[in-house]
Structures are given as structure tokens and as C-alpha cells.
Amino acid sequence: MSEKHEELMRRHFRAAAGQRGFTVDPAQQPAVDRLSRLAGELARAGGLFHRRPPGSLYVWGPVGRGKSWLVDTFFEGLPTTRKRRLHFHDFFRRLHDGVGRPADGPVHASAVDRAVAELLGDCRVLVFDEFHAHDAGDAMLVARLFRTLLERRVTLVTTSNYPPAGLMPDPLYHHLFEPTIRLIEQRMEVLDVSGPVDFRRLPHQAEGGRRFASGARLPAGTLPPGLAAPEPGEAVAVAAHLRTLPARAARGELVWFGFRELCEDRTSVPDYLALAERFGTVVLDGVPPLAACTADGRQRFANLVDVCCDRDVRLFLIGADPLSGLPADSALLRDLDRTASRLAMLR
Ligand SMILES: Nc1ncnc2c1ncn2[C@@H]1O[C@H](COP(=O)(O)OP(=O)(O)OP(=O)(O)O)[C@@H](O)[C@H]1O
Ligand SMILES: [Mg+2]
């Protein structure tokens, strides 16, 4: 019975790759094998005898190696409703909503546990995509999440750009995260998907059939195909997360913002998620070289690109090449690696 599920998952992977016009890469094959075995193990554990749930997997590698594709395909192919897929940004938004903490008050651990429990419901498998941790707040929430998951015997499948020991790279906070790193290393099987190719940079990716990939980067003064520039009278306040944001226009499923309003003013990831829920196309004009932005502006832009790519929102960027003017060896360029890989998909 579990062999059947394993074989079905292998077939599902092959079909999913075929549908997108590629084949599983040799660097991805061990992950396909392991995820297929996991499907078999889950089927066995869910059977009559309720055995121990199978162990958790930590899939990591550089940007664009197909990690999200691997775990999303696995998720899609699992024949159960007791599964949940969460993106990192989504997780934090839901957690903060669930915890309902006062603006600057501390998050209480028990409240986090409650929120995590609510978030999980009766799910047995949690796919947690694009996991990272960058500050002390993240460290605390993620530590609770992992402990709760392991206690509740949920099978966790995560992806990350960092090996466990490289999580929370900031030396200021790294020590706070060491207990969680040890927990991950002890309790999760680590899979390295570090092939030589960033698939987003392959020419055919620009077509791909995905909405995000059908967006574009356009020079200042030009317009996305078929669209007129917003008239002053089209300016409108658009509902985001717990506030409104000043858009230059909202036309059906399309919303148009200036870079300053969306990335330099104090917006946040939950705002982008709210926009992505309502709009299928985002136009952002006045895009500067990121080298000329504030650090917060850069981070917001990177988060916006992440959310649009994950939610498959078509993105048009009008203005400068965001990545121009960054020295080849700058730390900034490394931080913007994920963004650069995603932007490579836009025409
Ligand atoms: N074997 C493959 N051949 C060609 N394209 C692939 C292959 N596997 C995945 N892709 C495509 O490559 C693109 C990038 O994949 P994906 O988003 O899964 O990368 P990732 O490893 O999650 O990157 P990141 O670390 O930046 O989140 C997707 O469009 C995906 O469909
Ligand atoms: Mg990914």
C-alpha cells in the first residue's frame, strides 16, 4: 500500500515536470526520491495501526534550484486533506493575527502555542516554504513553532536558502537561534538541493505560463502593453492590512502604485499579502536603483517581489533597473540574491 503511494508520487513528479516542459534535474532526483518515500510513509502511518508519524525534511539550496516546485508538487500530490502549505511571510502574518498582540507588547509563548495550534488544526503534514529567520522576534516565534510541531507529531517539510547551521546569519542574534538549529539537526533529515543551475535564469522561464513571469521590467517613461498612464482622478485609497494605501489607480484586478508609497512609506508584508489576495496585477512606477534606497525600502521591495512571485501576481516595474549600480562584491548584492533570481523571470 505504501509502495503504491510512493510510486504514485514519483509519477506525479514526472507528470508535473512534463506539464511545465522540463524533466527532473539530477540534482533534484534525491529530493524526488525522498519525498516520494515520504508519501509512502505517510500513507502507512495513516493506516489502521497509527504508527509513529514519519520524520520531517529540511530541503535547502541556493535560489532557483526548484525547491518550492519540489515541495509544492509533493503537497499537491498528497492524497489527504489533513495537509497545509504555508509560505514564510504568510505564517508570520497569521501568527501575529492569531496572537493579537498589542502594538509593541511582547508576544507570550502560550499565545504563540495557541495560535500555532489554531493554524495547524488537525493537519498531519505541514509544508513550510522559504523558511528563514532574521531577527530576535523571528527566532522566538520559529523556536515555538518547531517545538509545537515536534510535540504534536506533525510531519514538517521546509525549504530554505540556508543550511540549518547558517540560519539567522546575523552574528548579533545567531546564538539565540542555536537551540533551534540543534533541534532541526537532531529531528529533521537535511536534503541539499544545490545543483549548478538557477532555473529562473533559463530563457524559457520567461514564458513559463505563470502570471508572475508574464510581468515585465520597463524603462522610465514607458507603459505596460495596452495600459494608459493613471489620470490624477484615478487616485484611490486601496484597502490593505488594517489600513488603506494610496494607489495611483485601481482598475478591476489591476492596481498601480508609486514606488515611494508602496516601498518607502511604512508598509509591511501583510499589506502586500492583502493586495495579492485582491489583485492579479501590480504596476509599480518610479522604481529607483536599489543602491539609492533606504535599507528598509530595499527590504520592502524584496518582500513585495517575494509575495508577488509566491502568489503568482503579475508584476510590472517601471523605472531604473533595481539591481543596477551595486558593486559586484557588495554584501547588498548577496542579500538581494533571491530578488535578483525572481526578477530574472520578468521580461
Ligand atoms: N528541473 C527543472 N528544470 C527547469 N525548470 C525547473 C526545474 N525545476 C524547477 N524549475 C522551475 O524553476 C523555477 C524556480 O523554481 P523554484 O521557485 O522552485 O526555486 P527555489 O529553489 O524555491 O528558489 P528560491 O530559493 O529562490 O525560493 C520555477 O519556475 C520552477 O518551475
Ligand atoms: Mg522557493
pLDDT in tens, 307-324: 999 899 999 999 999 998
24 lines ligand 1 (CB under 6 A): yes
d(CA 66, CA 243): 35
- Kindly report which listed range (185-189, 225-229, 335-339, 340-344) carries the lowest average pLDDT score: 335-339
d(CA 279, CA 235): 16
Q: At 305, phi and psi to the nearest 5?
A: -65, -40
Residues 168, 34 within the same domain: yes
Of the three residues 192, 221, 241, the one that is the final residue of a domain is: 192
Residues 85, 156 within the same domain: yes
CATH of the domain at 299: 3.40.50
Residues 205, 247 within the same domain: yes
Q: What are 256's three cell numbers?
A: 498601480
Helices (H), 78-216: 88-99, 109-120, 136-151, 174-187
Residues 29, 155 within the same domain: yes
For atom 9 of ligand 1, which residue has the closest CA? Answer: 66
Provide the residue range defining the domain that includes 284.
201-343
Mean pLDDT of the chain: 88
Mean pLDDT, range 83-101, rounded to an integer: 76
Residues 49, 94 within the same domain: yes
pLDDT in tens, 148-194: 887 888 999 999 999 999 998 888 889 989 999 999 999 999 999 99
Cα(46) to centroid of ligand 1, in Å? 30
Probe target for ligand 1 pocket from 32, 65, 303, with the most ligand atoms within 8 Å of CB:
65
Cα(92) to centroid of ligand 1, in Å? 23
CATH of the domain at 62: 3.40.50.300
Residues 66, 134 within the same domain: yes
Give residue 120's Cα distance to chain centre.
Answer: 18
Among left, alpha and beta (phi > 0; psi -120 to 50; other), residue 100 is left
267 lines ligand 1 (CB under 6 A): no
Of the three residues 192, 218, 251, the one that is the final residue of a domain is: 192
d(CA 183, CA 131): 15
H/E element holding 14?
A: helix 2-19
Cα(151) to centroid of ligand 2, in Å? 27
- pTM for this prediction: 0.84
The SS3 assignment for 29 reads: helix
Residues 232, 113 within the same domain: no
Residues 25, 143 within the same domain: yes
Residues 315, 209 within the same domain: yes
Distances from the Cα of 240 to the Cαs of 102, 147, 266, 296, 316, in angstroms?
A: 19, 32, 12, 19, 19
In DSSP terms, which residues pair with 237 in a beta bridge?
A: 246
Of the three residues 140, 159, 192, the one that is the final residue of a domain is: 192
Distances from the Cα of 281 to the Cαs of 210, 251, 261, in angstroms?
A: 12, 10, 17
d(CA 58, CA 184): 8
**Radius of gyration in angstroms for the set of CA atoms belonging to the chain, rounded to a whole number:** 21
**Most confidently modeled range among 202-211, 247-256, 289-298:** 247-256
- DSSP codes, 293-344: S-HHHHHHHHHHHHHHHHTT-EEEEEES-TTTT--TT-HHHHHTHHHHHHHT
How many domains is the chain partitioned into structurally?
2
* Contact criterion met (CB below 8 Å) for 29 and 161: no
Residues 323, 239 within the same domain: yes
pLDDT in tens, 274-291: 999 999 999 999 999 998
For atom 18 of ligand 1, which residue has the closest CA? Answer: 66
Residues 176, 228 within the same domain: no
Closest ligand 1 atom number to CA of residue 65:
21
Cα(130) to centroid of ligand 2, in Å? 6
Residues 242, 180 within the same domain: no
68 lines ligand 1 (CB under 6 A): yes
